[in-house]
Amino acid sequence: MTNKYNQEQNQLVKECLFEALIQIMKRKNFYSISITELTQKAGVSRMAFYRNYSIIEDILIESIDNIYNDYGNLLRHNSIEINKMMQLYFQHFRKHQTLINTLLSANLGHLFFSQLIKFMEIFSTEIMCSIECSAEYKLYSSEFLAGGIYQVLMTWCKNGMIENDEEMAILISNSISLHIQTLKDLRM
């Protein structure tokens, strides 16, 4: 019982810190935010911060990781067909437009990109390399696709996500399919 209570309290602390950080980032440069200011705004102790994180960036990284983990779970529960995968991607990330815009405004888009690369490495076999590939090829191909998908997501977000999820999925899945077909042709 105590362990469950501690986990719930810990999760509440993390949520308070995240919400406070996003609020502060809307009015202040990220790199000038202090842990004291953040914990005061969140209504938690500095000790509670350090129990969960080492630096303020860790809050954002954990949140982005959770977003990608949720997306990964969506993929596990749906058929991994490129168009469907991309439609789920745009549907999922549309829900996080505020966070993405906040990161972009703070020049922290690189955090989102680095977590996307990790995600792509984990799912590289299902996403793009169902054919036999070398480790180097998987790495560079993951980086290549991550760069394109990241840039499309950021541009779509900056432009207000005007295009619907299905339009975006068709656009990107066609590009990915062409890339995969090229891979297959090169292997022959």
Q: What is the mean pLDDT of each run of 10 residues along the chain (188 residues)?
A: 79 97 96 98 97 97 96 80 87 95 94 91 62 70 85 94 94 80 65
Per CATH, the number for 2-52 is: 1.10.10.60
Answer yes or no: same fold for 2-52 and 58-187. Answer: no
The domains of the chain are located at: 2-52, 58-187
- Close Cβ partners of 187 (under 8 Å, ≥ 6 residues apart): 131, 132
Q: The domain at 58-187 falls in which architecture?
A: Orthogonal Bundle (1.10)
How high is the pLDDT of residue 109? 93
How high is the pLDDT of residue 125? 59
How high is the pLDDT of residue 79? 65
Distance CA 23, CA 87 (A): 30
How high is the pLDDT of residue 76? 81
How high is the pLDDT of residue 141? 75
CA nearest 20: which of 1, 51, 44, 52?
44
How high is the pLDDT of residue 29? 96
This prediction's pTM: 0.84
